[in-house]
Amino acid sequence: METVDFLFLFKEETVEAIKISTLSGRPEDMRTGALLVGVFEKPKRTPKELKVLDKAAGGALERLIKSGDFSAKMGQCAWIYPSGATFKRLLAVGLGARDKFSPEAFRRAIGFAAREVRRIKSSDAVVALPEGSGADFPGVGDLARAAVEGFIMGAYKFLDYKSKTENSGKIKKFTIVSSAEGGELTRVRRGAEHGAVIAEAVTLARDLANTPGNDLPPEGVARVARIQARKYGLRCKVLGVPQLKRINMNALLAVGSGSSRPPRLVILEYRPKGAPTKKPPLMFVGKGITFDSGGISIKPSANMDQMKYDMSGAAAVMAALVVAARREWNRPVVGIMPCAENLPSAKAYRPGDVVKTASGIRVEVLNTDAEGRMVLSDALHYANRYKPAAVVDLATLTGACVIALGHEAMGLMSRDDDLADKILAVGEACGERAWRLPLWEEYNEQIKSDVADIKNVGGRAAGTITAGAFLARFAKDYKWAHLDIAGTAWNERDWAYRIKGAAGAGVRILAELGEKY
């Protein structure tokens, strides 16, 4: 048996670990409180690969299927309580149509199952990998990775502010059982290890974005970055107000000027072990607005409490750097997180102000709630000093992106077709879709200013695109792409492995890009 320790941890204190194990064996022999088995849609009787298991369950699975109550649609779950079996409970999990089965389908199905396991407060669970044949059927390594990601992300709850009595029923162990042996079992183990790294990174990002603004100011993000740097061998640099003034980061300073808790520029660097590499770094830049009231252009009060997640871009970047270190990528990676609170006060920046950014471009501020592009403008200029191979920025940037794409896809903008195609491909592969929007020259007309070089909003029409056009002005000297995660960074309800609250959006797409770049 192979075991991977998995910690829900971004704070310095120790928390209970979940053990993730892989095992070659038969599901019917498992001793567990919850045995999870997938069933493809519209079964007429028990699938042949589950007949021995069904016999151990006293034919309960066959009876469930024949009753017509279980159609095995994606995410449908049904508990079975067998007598005389080594497992206490059996959960039949709908996998959807066999011809549409993929790692993402399995990830979603196990996400549904994980929430069921948490609901009944089982301390452990075992999942049997589905068996199939054909060129289109996923490999065991991919399925093992998807199972771990789906289970951990689906079982997630943010409980830091709950009392101990409510913070109970933790899942302590998750095991993957399959008939794989030898090299196939090694692929299962490696897939599970990979999934654990990704799921832990998503947990880190979710925890950060779920943390209330009073407990996570810009300096708090810097503190967590230092913790991650010590733990995983990253380099961390934090620039405070004096340093930001010296390098003329006036846009970041302007956005943070209304708060008593000053802004920070947080930089994490990963360098491959061994001989120094001459490869230029891949760079990730994430918007880190730890609370966004809108500033002087104040937001409506409804749902303003959710604006603690406006630093989701920075959270994703920090988590991706952790993945780079744990997965030992062969290319240097740099993460830049411009962090600030956007609050109204006598010192806050105002509509009508003109701000000279670090690049020298002067921006007319028409709306202080368009603060994300302001802080990113300085960060994107700062990226030039690294001579990067490519830069990808992430931000909960525009409500217009939610209107355009809903909550199913990120908005992607780039001048570079190769980079854009890579992002689209890895997004499909890992279950974080993006949709490319144009950056035609005509959109620049909307952000021309009468009194400065550009203005920070271009009107209601094509609001997501004009925000991208704004950022493009500061990313001229390298390959660059922008991901607007406004629609994907917050979940309004539980569904599959998406849990209500901060989503950890962008972690998986950055991690997949970094693996392949």
| Contact indicator for 482, 283 with CB cutoff of 8 Å | no
Angle between helices 507-516 and 417-430 (to 10 degrees): 120
DSSP at 304: G
Across 112-234, the runs of DSSP E, i.e. the strands, are 124-128, 173-178
Residue with tokens 């995983």: 232
DSSP at 495: B
DSSP at 38: E
Tokens of 19: 């053990």
- Total H helices, total E strands in the chain: 14, 21
| Contact indicator for 142, 129 with CB cutoff of 8 Å | no
The 3-state DSSP composition of the chain as helix, strand, coil percent (nearest 5) reads 40, 20, 40
Distance CA 80, CA 217 (A): 47
| Contact indicator for 114, 150 with CB cutoff of 8 Å | yes
Please count the residues of the chain: 517
Which of 51, 88, 299, 350 is the catalytic position? 299
Concerning whether 373 is annotated as a catalytic residue, the answer is yes
Distance CA 87, CA 157 (A): 26
Concerning whether 299 is annotated as a catalytic residue, the answer is yes
Residue 39: closest CA among 89, 80, 91, 95: 95
Residue 65: closest CA among 86, 92, 37: 92
Residue with tokens 């409980």: 159
Which of 157, 373, 473, 479 is the catalytic position? 373
| Contact indicator for 295, 368 with CB cutoff of 8 Å | yes
Distance CA 82, CA 99 (A): 30
| Contact indicator for 419, 441 with CB cutoff of 8 Å | no
Q: What residues act catalytically?
A: 299, 373
